[in-house]
Amino acid sequence: MAADEKDRLGNKLHDVEKAREDQWARQRDIELIEKLRTRLSQTTCRDCKQFLVPKTEHGVLMYACPDGHGAWLDASALKVALKEHK
Ligand SMILES: [Zn+2]
Protein backbone atom coordinates (compact mmCIF):
# COMPACT_ATOMS: atom_id res chain seq x y z
CA MET A 1 0.00 0.00 0.00
CA ALA A 2 1.39 3.40 -0.97
CA ALA A 3 2.02 5.94 1.75
CA ASP A 4 -0.61 8.42 0.54
CA GLU A 5 -3.12 5.60 0.23
CA LYS A 6 -2.41 4.68 3.84
CA ASP A 7 -2.97 8.31 4.85
CA ARG A 8 -6.28 8.41 3.06
CA LEU A 9 -7.36 5.21 4.80
CA GLY A 10 -6.26 6.72 8.12
CA ASN A 11 -8.29 9.85 7.45
CA LYS A 12 -11.29 7.77 6.46
CA LEU A 13 -11.06 5.74 9.67
CA HIS A 14 -10.73 8.96 11.64
CA ASP A 15 -13.87 10.33 9.95
CA VAL A 16 -15.81 7.17 10.79
CA GLU A 17 -14.62 7.35 14.39
CA LYS A 18 -15.56 11.02 14.60
CA ALA A 19 -19.03 10.35 13.20
CA ARG A 20 -19.53 7.59 15.77
CA GLU A 21 -18.47 9.91 18.60
CA ASP A 22 -20.81 12.65 17.35
CA GLN A 23 -23.67 10.19 17.20
CA TRP A 24 -22.86 8.98 20.71
CA ALA A 25 -22.77 12.57 22.02
CA ARG A 26 -26.08 13.38 20.32
CA GLN A 27 -27.67 10.27 21.78
CA ARG A 28 -26.33 11.17 25.22
CA ASP A 29 -27.74 14.72 24.89
CA ILE A 30 -31.13 13.33 23.94
CA GLU A 31 -31.06 11.02 26.96
CA LEU A 32 -30.02 13.85 29.31
CA ILE A 33 -32.76 16.14 28.01
CA GLU A 34 -35.27 13.33 28.34
CA LYS A 35 -34.16 12.67 31.93
CA LEU A 36 -34.38 16.37 32.77
CA ARG A 37 -37.81 16.58 31.18
CA THR A 38 -39.04 13.59 33.20
CA ARG A 39 -37.63 14.98 36.42
CA LEU A 40 -39.05 18.45 35.81
CA SER A 41 -42.47 17.18 34.80
CA GLN A 42 -42.63 15.77 38.33
CA THR A 43 -41.49 19.02 39.93
CA THR A 44 -44.13 21.07 41.68
CA CYS A 45 -44.42 24.76 42.44
CA ARG A 46 -43.19 25.55 45.95
CA ASP A 47 -46.15 27.90 46.51
CA CYS A 48 -49.19 26.10 45.11
CA LYS A 49 -47.78 22.57 44.58
CA GLN A 50 -49.07 22.37 40.98
CA PHE A 51 -46.84 20.58 38.49
CA LEU A 52 -44.56 22.89 36.50
CA VAL A 53 -45.31 23.08 32.79
CA PRO A 54 -42.75 23.50 29.97
CA LYS A 55 -42.77 26.99 28.50
CA THR A 56 -40.58 28.76 25.98
CA GLU A 57 -39.96 32.48 26.51
CA HIS A 58 -37.72 34.27 23.97
CA GLY A 59 -36.44 30.91 22.80
CA VAL A 60 -35.45 29.80 26.31
CA LEU A 61 -37.02 26.62 27.63
CA MET A 62 -38.20 26.79 31.19
CA TYR A 63 -40.63 25.04 33.48
CA ALA A 64 -43.13 27.38 35.02
CA CYS A 65 -45.96 27.30 37.51
CA PRO A 66 -49.26 27.52 35.57
CA ASP A 67 -50.36 30.26 37.98
CA GLY A 68 -47.18 32.27 37.48
CA HIS A 69 -45.58 31.84 40.91
CA GLY A 70 -42.20 31.17 39.37
CA ALA A 71 -40.15 29.26 36.84
CA TRP A 72 -37.26 26.86 36.83
CA LEU A 73 -34.44 27.10 34.27
CA ASP A 74 -31.35 24.96 34.02
CA ALA A 75 -27.99 26.73 34.22
CA SER A 76 -27.36 26.80 30.47
CA ALA A 77 -30.83 28.21 29.76
CA LEU A 78 -30.29 30.86 32.43
CA LYS A 79 -26.99 31.88 30.80
CA VAL A 80 -28.75 32.26 27.45
CA ALA A 81 -31.52 34.30 29.07
CA LEU A 82 -29.06 36.63 30.79
CA LYS A 83 -27.08 37.11 27.59
CA GLU A 84 -30.31 38.00 25.72
CA HIS A 85 -31.18 40.49 28.44
CA LYS A 86 -27.96 42.54 28.06
ZN1 LIG B 1 -47.58 28.04 41.79
Distance 52 CA to ligand 1 centre (A): 8
* Per-residue model confidence as pLDDT tens digits over 26-37: 998 888 878 877
What is the widest separation between alpha-carbon atoms in the chain? 72
Distance 9 CA to ligand 1 centre (A): 59
Q: What is the pTM of this model?
A: 0.49
d(CA 60, CA 3): 51
* Per-residue model confidence as pLDDT tens digits over 25-83: 999 888 887 887 777 667 899 999 999 988 888 788 888 999 999 998 888 888 887 88
Distance 4 CA to ligand 1 centre (A): 66
**65 closest CA partner among 48, 83, 82, 86:** 48
